[in-house]
Structure 1
Amino acid sequence: MNITVGIFDLFAYSVPGALYLALLAYLGFRLDLVEPAAVAGVPGVLLVVAVVVLSYLLGYLAYPVGALANRLLPRRRRRDPRAEFRRRNPAAQDRDYVGADPFLLLSGLQLHDADVAAEVVRLRASGLMLRNSAPPLLFAAVAAVVETFAGPRPVVAAVSAALFAAVSVVLLAQGRKIGHWASIKTLELCFWLPDVDERVRRSA
C-alpha cells in the first residue's frame, strides 16, 4: 500500500509541481529575481530535497487549477463509462454494482486485493498527472508570448508558445481519456468481486 500511495503522489502532485517549479525558476532567473550563483552555491543534497518538497507542495496547492482547466476545456463528446461497460458486457446489464459510486467500488477492490486495485490507482494517477500538467504549460505559453515581443529570440519564443499551448490541450484531453479508462477498469475488476451486488444493495 505504501508503494501505491507513493506512486499516486508522484504522478498526481510531484510531476505537475515540478513543471510549476521549473516555470517559476525560469521567471525568477529571467527577471533577475534569483541569482544563478546563489543557487549554484547550495549543497547538492539540500537542493535536491528542496526541489522534491517544493514540487510536491506546488503540485498539491495547484491541484484545483488543473480541475478548473479541465472544466473550462470544451468536450468534443461525453464519455459514459457505465454505458460503455454495459454495452461491452451484456452479462452486467442488470448488475447493481454498475450504478454504484466508482470510488466506493475502488475502496472495495483495495480491501479485496490491493495488488489488483493498484492498476486502477495507477490509471487514475496518470490521468491526474496529465490533467494537472496542462496549466503550467499554458502559463509557459503565456510567458513565451511575452518573450516573443520582449526577448532576444522572437521566432523561438513564438514557436515555443504554440507548442506549449497545443501540448496543454492535448494533455487535458488525454487526462480525460485515461480517467475514463480507470472507471472502465474499476467496473471490469469489480465484475469478479464476490457478493459485490449484495454489498451495494445493503449500502443503498
Structure 2
Amino acid sequence: MNIVVGVFDLFTYAVAGGLYVALAGYVGDRLDLVHLASLNSVNGVLLVIGAVVLSYLCGILAYPLGALLNRVVPHKRRDPRAEFRRRNPAARDRDYVDADSFLLLSALQMHDMDAATEVNRLRASGLMARNSGPALVLAAVTALVEAFTSGHPVLAAVCAVALGAASVLLVLQGRRLGYMASIKTLELCFWLPDIDDKTVDDRTRSAKP
C-alpha cells in the first residue's frame, strides 16, 4: 500500500503541526520532561516518519486555533467577486461568479486538474500560514517566560516580540493567499464551457427576461 502525503495536507497540517511539535519538544526539554539528546539513538527513518505523522496529527488538532486567531486579528473584508468583476468587465453578467467557490473548484478539477493545482497551492499555502500563527503566539509566550527565567533575558525578549509580530503577519499573509486563490478560481473558471448553465439556479434563470 502506497502512503502519499498530498501537498494540500503537507502545507495545511504537517508544517503548522511541526511548529507545535518543535515547541513542545523545546518546553519539555527545558522542564526536563524529555531529553532530546536521547533521540540520537533512534533509527533515522523511523524518527522522520514519526515526526511527520505526529506533526500531521497536531496540525489537524490545532486547526481550530488558526481559525480562532484569524477571527481575532482585525482585518478589512474584501470581496473577491467584486474585485474580479471590476478587473474583468466581460464577466460582470456571468452567472458562475456568484456560485460557491468550492463548487467552482470541483468543476475546475474535473475539467483541468493541472489548473486546479495552482488554486490548491494557493489555498494550502494560505491555510499553512494562518494555522502556523497560533504556534508562534505560544512560542512568543514561551520566550516571554524565558526572559524572566533564563540567563539571556534580552535575547528572549527580542524573540518574544519577533515571534508575536510574525504570528500576526502570518495570519495576514494567509488571508492574502486565500483571497488570491478565490480570484484565481474565478479567472480559470471563466474559460470553462457551459459553466454558467451548470451553476445558475433555475429560479434565477426563469426570473431573467
TM-score bin, normalised by smaller chain: over 0.9
Note the 1:10-25 alignment, pairs <5 A. 10-25=10-25
Q: Hey, what's the Cα distance between the residues in 1 that align with 2:152 and 2:159?
A: 11
Note the 1:68-147 alignment, pairs <5 A. 68-75=68-75, 77-147=76-146
**Equivalent position SS for 1:168:** helix
Q: How far off is 1:39 after superposition?
A: 2.1
Q: Hey, what's the Cα distance between the residues in 1 that align with 2:195 and 2:128?
A: 30
Tell me the residue number matched to 2:152.
153
CA gap of 1:185–1:8, structure 2 versus 1, over 3 A, is same
With the length of structure 2 as denominator, give the TM-score of the two structures: 0.93
1:78-137 superposed Cα distances (whole Å, 9 cap, x missing partner): 211000000000111111000000000000000011111100000000000100011101
Whether the 8 Å contact between 2:99 and 2:200 is mirrored in structure 1 is no
Q: Hey, what's the Cα distance between the residues in 2 that align with 1:5 and 1:141?
A: 30
Note the 1:58-69 alignment, pairs <5 A. 58-69=58-69
Q: How far off is 1:6 after superposition?
A: 0.5
Q: Hey, what's the Cα distance between the residues in 2 that align with 1:203 and 1:15?
A: 43
Tell me the residue number matched to 1:29.
29
**Equivalent position SS for 1:122:** helix
The percentage of aligned residue pairs carrying the same residue is 64
Tell me the residue number matched to 2:168.
169
**Equivalent position SS for 2:78:** coil
RMSD: 1.6
Q: Hey, what's the Cα distance between the residues in 2 that align with 1:178 and 1:86?
A: 19
What number of residue pairs does the alignment pair up? 201
Moved over 4 A (4+): none
Instruction: List gaps (5 residues or longer) in structure 1.
Output: none
CA gap of 1:183–1:5, structure 2 versus 1, over 3 A, is farther
CA gap of 1:135–1:203, structure 2 versus 1, over 3 A, is farther
Q: How far off is 1:43 after superposition?
A: 1.7
The one-letter amino acid paired with 1:67 is: A
Q: How far off is 1:41 after superposition?
A: 2.2
Instruction: List gaps (5 residues or longer) in structure 2.
Output: 204-209
